[in-house]
Chain A
Amino acid sequence: QKEVEQDPGPLSVPEGAIVSLNCTYSNSAFQYFMWYRQYSRKGPELLMYTYSSGNKEDGRFTAQVDKSSKYISLFIRDSQPSDSATYLCAMSAGSNDYKLSFGAGTTVTVRA
């Protein structure tokens, strides 16, 4: 079983819909949680960064972390065609953990 599980989709939604993405993990030591966005034929870029449990909002994007359930989510409100991309969750343990554990990525298409 993988350390980080993410449904690869693909997910197709109409413009303006709410996109809901999630990952589950097995390592209770994870404390830092990230969402990366990757456009086709590009490198991943950081979208959201959270520490421990709770919510974080940035514009149309909201990241949630539930450490008790080992479950993280990313919500995209009022989705736009420009949000069409692959979204990867990533996580790491302590400050001295040099490595990130990635989910497989979910491919999202927002239809105009």
Chain B
Amino acid sequence: NAGVTQTPKFQVLKTGQSMTLQCAQDMNHNSMYWYRQDPGMGLRLIYYSASEGTTDKGEVPNGYNVSRLNKREFSLRLESAAPSQTSVYFCASRTGVGLAHNEQFFGPGTRLTVL
């Protein structure tokens, strides 16, 4: 199993450009998440999808949109990138069953720089 995969690994954008970050999981998990991680700020939730067909805002949703394409895939879109969106983005998924049902599994991250 590959677990949670993310593409691309690195990206540099100019202000105003758009892009989509892709995430896929092969663990048959119901819930998926997008976080951003900035120095000293920990992980902040952008959007999440509790199950296929549903999405909800997290702590910092402004400037982002998401699509839960199917049970495996959850994408994050920046419509008009801003320098404040320079960050490391992590996708995660959650099993929702078993003793450790709240455990989230993380992907390797996407390092995004907006100039």
- Interface size grouping (class) on chain B: 20 to 34
Q: Which of A41, A92, A95, A98 has the most CB of B within 10 A?
A: A98
Q: A34-B103, A42-B109 are in contact. Are A98 and B41 (CB under 8 A)?
A: no
What sequence of 0s and 1s flags, for each residue 10-53 of chain A, a beta carbon within 8 Å of any chain B beta carbon? 00000000000000000000001010000001111110010000
CB distance from A11 to the nearest CB of B (A): 15
The prevalent SS among residues of A at the interface is loop
Query: How many A-B pairs fall under 8 Å by CB?
Result: 51
- Interface size grouping (class) on chain A: 20 to 34
Q: Tell me if A104 is interfacial: C-beta within 8 Å of chain B.
A: yes
CB distance from B53 to the nearest CB of A (A): 14
Chain B residues in contact with chain A, CB under 8 A? 4, 31, 40-45, 48, 50, 58, 90, 92, 94, 99-109
Chain A residues in contact with chain B, CB under 8 A? 6, 8, 32, 34, 41-46, 49, 88, 90, 92, 95, 97-100, 102-105
| 20 contacts across the A-B interface (CB closer than 8 A) | A8-B40, A41-B109, A43-B4, A43-B90, A43-B106, A43-B108, A43-B109, A44-B43, A44-B90, A44-B106, A45-B106, A49-B99, A88-B42, A90-B104, A97-B102, A99-B58, A100-B102, A102-B42, A104-B40, A104-B42
